[in-house]
Amino acid sequence: MNAHPAMLAWPTSPDDDRGTALWTAREIAEATGGRASAPFAVAGVGIDSREVMEGEFFLALKGGNSDGHRFLDGAFARGAAGALVDRPVDYPHVLVEDTTAALEALAIAARARVDAGVIGVTGSVGKTGVKEAIFAALDRGSRGRAHRSVKSYNNHVGVPLSLSRMPSRTRFGIFEMGMNHAGELAALTRLVRPHVAVVTTVGPAHIENFNGEEGIADAKGEIFEGLEPGGTAIIPADNRHFERLKAKAARHAGRIVSFGTAAHADVRLIDAVPAPGGGTLVTADLEGRKLCYTVAMPGEHWIANSLAVMAAVSAIGGDLGAAGLALAEMEGLAGRGARHRIPASGGDGSGEALLIDESYNANPASMRATLAQLGLTPAARRVAVLGAMRELGADGPRYHAELIEPLRAAKVDRVILVGPEMAPLAEALGKSDSPMLAGGIETDHVQTTAEAAECLASNGPRGGPRGGDAILVKGSNSVGLGALVRALTAREN
């Protein structure tokens, strides 16, 4: 049988020699210094036996009171192809001395074997959304050959896990990195070794663990320490810690790119107007090139985020056109801006209310940003269910009380405050021992998510949801407001 000449002339690629499996047992053993019990190949890597999928590699990690070895039966019942263990077991495995250290070794091997442009993202606010937007842009431009950390896998376990999941054929890798203590980002960025490092913004998140915001800026700047030679640092031009970040970046980066509205920004906002179909039509100057694109996600903070996305895509050599399309199509993430239409009675008679899910995280900056967006959202009534902001230290009471300003600016009609940390805000609103009309805002202060759900679902004159409501749910993840969102969306329209 003769092959068609066009097939014989088909261009070859170095990727042709790469295997199609994510890892083989031999490769894992070589990377970790372990010993494989049998040949096998895996299609993924997981650490939660309840989420393991067919053909994946289960990591039996140990930490605190948990030992992953206890869940081997469950992992293999769900179809695991092999496991990383520190003792011999009856399942296909790679035996190592320390599974946590082996995970880091596997991450290092995964990073070393790819010929990919790698981006690291951190920041006090917006890092997950920016990471997802960069991924969407580069995945579209590379026809599915981009990889990113999922969810908020951004800590000492999540980052190496995300690296270990990166296929050898990856062209672009995007990794979110978080921290709540000095030194944590320095360790993570040396694993990721980014070509481009992005700081979205600096604000008072986790401030109880730092000596003021300056300490947070220094800790965020650690992301530049892992930059590959000649790498690019991307920093927020409008942040009050800009010069501090710039000085840190200058010690490690070959190039510094700033973004924002400031006249000195390298990627600078020229104009932003409401788009006809929703969202914002943005015009920006990218180092002398004019860009026009639509941002589907609402809010001024997403205009700034989009500038960071464009800066990162340009710096890594991605397709700016694909980035514009990705931003125009991007929807809210669960816990970070997802919008739902839920059944409602009364009100404007529409039979539905808008639920804005910001339940995953909260700090003073993100609270202000999302409340501002609530104020711009057309609604017959605006309701805010606000959970406590955690890790704010001695200034926590002040940060909570100061939310009265963005609440009033957003013309919020009703607020349900959740957690003892919210007492200063309740007092600022004029809250007494019984619910009352406080400062023009109907206010309830409860201690738990269950009480907040009961309060919001009550059938009294202040109950809800009502037709035409816009309901914002936002708080630190540890408050558990995600359960309230799940309950409200169980009968989503």
Establish if 417 belongs to a structural domain: yes
Residue type, 340: H
If asked whether residues 69 and 119 sit together in one domain, one would say no
Residue 381: the pLDDT is 94
Residue 435: the pLDDT is 43
Strand-pairing partners, residue 444, are 416
CA distance 72 to 243: 50
**Structural domain tally of the chain?**
3
User: In b/e form, how buried is each residue of 367-403, taking b as 16+ CB within 10 angstroms?
Assistant: bbbbbebbbeeebbbbbbbbbbbbbbeeebeebbbbb
Establish if 104 belongs to a structural domain: no
Structural contact between residues 313 and 134, judged by C-beta atoms closer than 8 angstroms: yes
If asked whether residues 163 and 296 sit together in one domain, one would say yes
Residue 332: the pLDDT is 77
Residue 116: the pLDDT is 97
Residue 207: the pLDDT is 63
C-alpha 433 chain-centroid distance: 38
Q: Are strands 146-148 and 232-236 parallel, antiparallel or unpaired?
A: unpaired
CA distance 449 to 480: 6
CA distance 220 to 245: 8
Establish if 105 belongs to a structural domain: no
Establish if 4 belongs to a structural domain: no
- Written as six digits, the tokens of 168 are 């050898």
Residue 180: the pLDDT is 79
Establish if 106 belongs to a structural domain: no
Q: How many C-beta neighbours within 10 Å does residue 38 have?
A: 10
- Domain end, chosen from 41, 65, 97, is at 97
CATH number at residue 199: 3.40.1190.10
CATH number at residue 432: 3.90.190.20
If asked whether residues 323 and 450 sit together in one domain, one would say no
What are the strands of the beta sheet with 255-260, ordered from one edge? 146-148, 172-176, 117-122, 196-199, 232-236, 255-260, 267-274, 280-286, 289-295
Distances (CA, A) of 378 to 109, 134, 204: 51, 29, 30
- Written as six digits, the tokens of 371 are 């409340």
Helix/strand/coil for 438: strand
- Domain end, chosen from 305, 329, 353, is at 329
CA distance 445 to 450: 12
If asked whether residues 72 and 133 sit together in one domain, one would say no
Distances (CA, A) of 334 to 82, 128, 152, 278, 474: 31, 11, 11, 20, 12
Residue 203: the pLDDT is 81
Domain assignment of residue 88, given as a range: 14-97
CA distance 202 to 23: 38
If asked whether residues 39 and 146 sit together in one domain, one would say no
- Written as six digits, the tokens of 466 are 């009502």
If asked whether residues 305 and 227 sit together in one domain, one would say yes
Q: Give phi and psi for 356, each to the nearest 5.
A: -105, 115
Whether pTM exceeds 0.85: no
Residue 285: the pLDDT is 97
User: In b/e form, how buried is each residue of 85-103, taking b as 16+ CB within 10 angstroms?
Assistant: bbeebebbbbbbeebbebb
If asked whether residues 316 and 356 sit together in one domain, one would say no
Question: How many CA atoms, within 13 angstroms, populate the side-chain half-sphere of residue 479?
Answer: 35
The tens-digit pLDDT sequence of the chain (493 residues) is 455 555 445 455 555 555 679 999 999 999 999 999 999 999 999 999 999 999 999 999 998 788 999 999 999 999 999 999 999 999 999 999 999 999 999 999 999 999 999 999 999 888 999 999 999 999 999 999 999 998 778 899 999 999 999 999 999 999 999 987 889 999 999 999 999 999 999 987 666 666 778 999 999 999 999 999 999 999 999 999 999 999 999 999 999 999 999 999 999 999 999 887 778 999 999 999 999 999 998 888 899 999 999 999 999 999 999 999 999 999 877 777 888 999 998 889 999 999 999 998 888 888 998 999 899 899 999 999 999 998 888 889 999 999 999 999 999 999 999 999 999 999 999 854 444 444 579 999 999 999 999 888 765 556 678 999 999 999 988 899 999 999 998 866 5
- Domain end, chosen from 272, 304, 329, is at 329
Establish if 171 belongs to a structural domain: yes
Residue 14: the pLDDT is 56
CATH number at residue 61: 3.40.1390.10
If asked whether residues 321 and 345 sit together in one domain, one would say no
If asked whether residues 90 and 125 sit together in one domain, one would say no
Establish if 9 belongs to a structural domain: no
- Written as six digits, the tokens of 464 are 């809800």
Residue 1: the pLDDT is 45
If asked whether residues 81 and 218 sit together in one domain, one would say no
Establish if 174 belongs to a structural domain: yes
If asked whether residues 350 and 311 sit together in one domain, one would say no
If asked whether residues 310 and 346 sit together in one domain, one would say no
Helix/strand/coil for 78: coil
CA distance 360 to 355: 14
